[in-house]
Amino acid sequence: MRLGIISDTHGKLRPEVFEVFSQVDHILHGGDVGPPDIITELEALAPVTAVFGNTDSFALRDRLPQVAEIELDGFLITVTHGDQFGSPNPKVLCKAFPTAEIVVYGHTHKPMLELVNKVVTVMNPGAAGPARFGARPSVGIMELEPGIPPRARLVDL
């Protein structure tokens, strides 16, 4: 199973996202979505599991959870924006979500991929929307196959 990992679109869905996500089976959005039509546009590519972020409207917060847990290809995945932890990092997230095998988050706008141990992978795909903080816009791709650790990469847009 191939996952598209995205966060911090802030209302801007770049055309490159559609190219990078053209072959994904599921999309995980780590919050700060912007208008709800961003989710609708992503759903045209694949099913979407999304959470709200600290800049999302109350209308979107009514539609999306702060934390989503989903099992895909036998992996327990937790998706959160992470702002509830201040400046989230893999250690804090693994402690907060001890049963997760994969944690996807956003908020920092800093792309990060870390294999915490043989069981837990933590990914922040960076910010896919407007360029901020001197970082290039980016997303992630993750490949899941039962019985082996996830394979993932960050993709600059």
Is the torsion defined by CA of 142, 112, 90, 54 positive or negative?
negative
pLDDT band at 26 (very low <50, low <70, confident <90, very high): very high
Contact call for residues 82 and 30 (beta carbons, < 8 A): yes
| CATH architecture, domain 2-156 | 4-Layer Sandwich (3.60)
In this prediction the pTM is 0.96
Whole-angstrom Cα distance, residue 14 to residue 148? 32
pLDDT attached to residue 130: 84
pLDDT value for 132: 77
Domain boundaries, the chain: 2-156
For residue 134, what pLDDT is reported? 78
pLDDT band at 124 (very low <50, low <70, confident <90, very high): very high
pLDDT digits (tens, 9 = 90+) for 36-83: 999 999 999 999 999 999 999 999 999 999 999 999 999 999 999 999
Let me know: does 123 contact 89? Beta carbons within 8 Å. Answer: no
* pLDDT given for residue 116 in this prediction: 85
Mean pLDDT across 115-136: 85
pLDDT in tens, 83-120: 999 999 999 999 999 999 999 999 999 999 998 876 78
Q: Is the dihedral of CA 132, 29, 78, 145 positive or negative?
A: negative
Provide the 10 A C-beta neighbour count for residue 115.
Answer: 14
Q: What pLDDT does 4 receive?
A: 98
